[in-house]
Amino acid sequence: MTDHDIRVLDDSQYRAAHTLFRGTLHYSPAPDDQWKFAQESYEPGRALGAFADGEMIGTAHSFSSRLAVPGGAVVPHAAVSRVGVRADWTRRGVLSALQREQLRAMRSAGDVVASLRASETVIYGRYGYGVASRYRYLRIDRHRAALRMRPVGRVRLVEGEAGERIARELFDELSPGRTGTISRWPAWWALNLRRVFAEENMKIAVRSGSSGDDGYVVYKVELGEHDPGADKPTTLTVMDLWARDAEAWADLWLFVLGIDLVVEVTAFGRPVDEPVQWLLGDRRACRITDESDETWLRLLDVPAALTARTYREGEPVVIGVRDAYLPENSGSYRVSADGVTRVEDAPELVLDVDALASVYLGDVSFSTLAATRRLDVVQAEALARADVLFAVNEVPWSGSFF
């Protein structure tokens, strides 16, 4: 029994919820010039608050989005963010109550999946979220890179609103596309681009080929000392880079690597299979400094999610799913190259919904989860069949932080 209740927030409560959330991350309340950007991102009906004794003690929010799944289909997706519980109310069931209400509300609204970026990785597995994609951090010594190529297309700097408009149009064309990519809601651009342009030395460069604009890069430069051996080198950070094809992708990277008076080029949130090293004369100039979990995925409607994606040719397998928070997802599913059917058959593999989310986009195999005791193997030969059916050609990646 808990002594709090969960309510849908109205616009008069958004700022209090935002302040509470920032407080859980140990940030002070957003000043007025920043709040105006956050305020427009709150969507009616998608912000929740937990209350006790008339006070807000926790909050959770989601943004309307779409997610690309293996095979090219796009499903309704909720981007979960701004989840927090006040420090004096943690470990008293508040987050569990918020999660239970939010999961139910998102499913009822028609969202097939939800995802989030976890501030702490031990929290969200209990609510059915599993790691479904990864990204990496790069650091490139520009003076060692020894570039042997120059861009073949035209890369130009575009200022202000014109740059944002081109970037948004290109992004909307390209995503959702690759498995794991999502659509960005309008307020994403205000929060992540327009808001920080005034605060940081950010630039937008657009690449054009024979068919017109086909890629863009957003980057910022932090001034330091130009000496390659300096303790504080001038660093260019790639914030966001999207391209229609390999030629545009290479030109954008060659452009940022060719900018003068920069000692290091860094990037975060890039795909784990991005071949930046192969653009360099000295591939050791590029170091992978970190790799981390990116998408924490939650299957809200398991039958709809399994049906939306495609499967490789192979023998069928019956998977048993357990879901404590959305029990209507629990049951057995026969998966084959022809599709998915809910069945009464005994399962050959049994796993919790968070583990199913991890294999869903193809970033990890059933065999890996079995080896780490994340699923129950009823029929040993079923592992190989499941691995074949769920295999993908390209590792998933989202590329959008929220």
Tell me the per-residue pLDDT of 231-241, one tens digit each, with 9 for 90 and over.
789 999 999 99
Domain for residue 315, yes or no? yes
pLDDT at 198: 63
At 275-304, the pLDDT tens digits run: 999 999 999 999 999 999 999 999 999 999
CA distance 361 to 69: 6
Q: What integer pLDDT is reported at residue 197 of this predicted model?
A: 74
For residues 80 and 50, give the distance between their C-alpha atoms in angstroms, rounded to a whole number: 16
Taking only the tens place, the pLDDT of each residue in 303-362 is 999 999 999 999 999 999 999 999 999 999 999 999 999 999 999 999 999 999 999 999
Q: In terms of domains, do 13 and 155 share one? A: no
Are residues 200 and 261 located together in one domain of the fold? yes
Residue matched to tokens 């040993």? 380
- Segment 129-143 shows an average pLDDT of 97
**145 domain-assigned:** yes
Among all chains, which residue has been given the structure tokens 């937008």? 204
Q: In the listed set 111, 144, 176, which residue is the last one of a domain according to the structure?
A: 111
Determine the pLDDT at residue 195.
80
* Residue among 213, 99, 68 at smallest CA distance from 155: 213
Beta bridge partners of 335: 317, 340
19: in domain? yes
Per DSSP, the residues of 337-355 read TTEEEEE-SPPSEEEEHHH
**Residue 286 and residue 174 share a domain:** yes
- Residue reference for tokens 């780490």: 372
- Give yes or no: residues 97 and 73 share one domain: yes
- At 136 the pLDDT is 98
Judged against a pLDDT cut of 50, whether residue 24 lies above it is answered with yes
In this structure, the answer to whether residues 262 and 377 fall within a common structural domain is no
Given a cut of 90, whether residue 227 has pLDDT beyond it is no
pLDDT of residue 56: 98
pLDDT recorded at residue 280: 97
Checking if the pLDDT of 225 tops 90, the result is: no
Considering the domain architecture, whether residues 339 and 212 belong to the same structural domain is answered as no
Residue 261 lies in a domain: yes
What percentage of the chain carries pLDDT values higher than 70?
Answer: 98
401 in a domain, yes or no?
A: no
Q: To the nearest 10°, the Cα dihedral for 323, 329, 335, 340?
A: -160
Q: What are phi and psi of 302, to 5 degrees?
A: -60, -45
1 pLDDT band, cuts 50/70/90, is very low
- Mean pLDDT rounded to a whole number for the chain: 95
Residue written as token pair 């890069």? 217
Residues 203, 262 share a domain: yes
Q: Tell whether 15 and 65 lie within a shared domain.
A: yes
Same domain, 50 and 99: yes
In the chain, the number of structural domains is: 3
| Residue 402 maps to a domain | no
> How far apart (Å, rounded) are the C-alpha atoms in residues 142 and 258?
8
What CATH code is carried by the domain that includes residue 308? Answer: 3.30.1050.10
The one catalytic residue among 37, 63, 124, 219: 124
Whose structure tokens read 């930046």? 276
pLDDT tens per residue across span 51-60: 999 999 999 9
Q: Is there a catalytic annotation at residue 390?
A: no
Q: Output the CA torsion 109→115→116→118 (10° steps).
A: 130
Query: Is residue 10 situated within a structural domain?
Result: yes
Domain residues for 55? 5-111
DSSP letter at 268 equals E
pLDDT tens-digit map of 360-373? 999 999 999 999 99
Q: pTM for this one?
A: 0.95
Instruction: Look at residue 250 and tell me whether its pLDDT is greater than 70.
Output: yes
Beta carbons of 361 and 69 less than 8 angstroms apart:
yes
The rounded Cα 219 to chain-centroid distance in angstroms is 19
Q: Let me know if residue 237 belongs to a domain.
A: yes
Q: Identify the CATH number of the domain in which residue 69 sits.
A: 3.40.630.30
191 & 279 share domain: yes
Catalytic status, residue 402 = yes
Q: What angle do CA 243, 246, 252 make, to 5 degrees?
A: 55
pLDDT at residue number 160: 87
Whether the pLDDT of residue 2 is over 60: the answer is: no
Q: Which amino acid is located at 153 in the chain?
A: G
Q: Do residues 190 and 237 share a domain?
A: yes
Task: Reply yes or no on whether the pLDDT at 3 is more than 80.
Answer: no
Instruction: Enumerate residues 6+ apart whose C-beta is below 8 A from 16.
Output: 49, 56
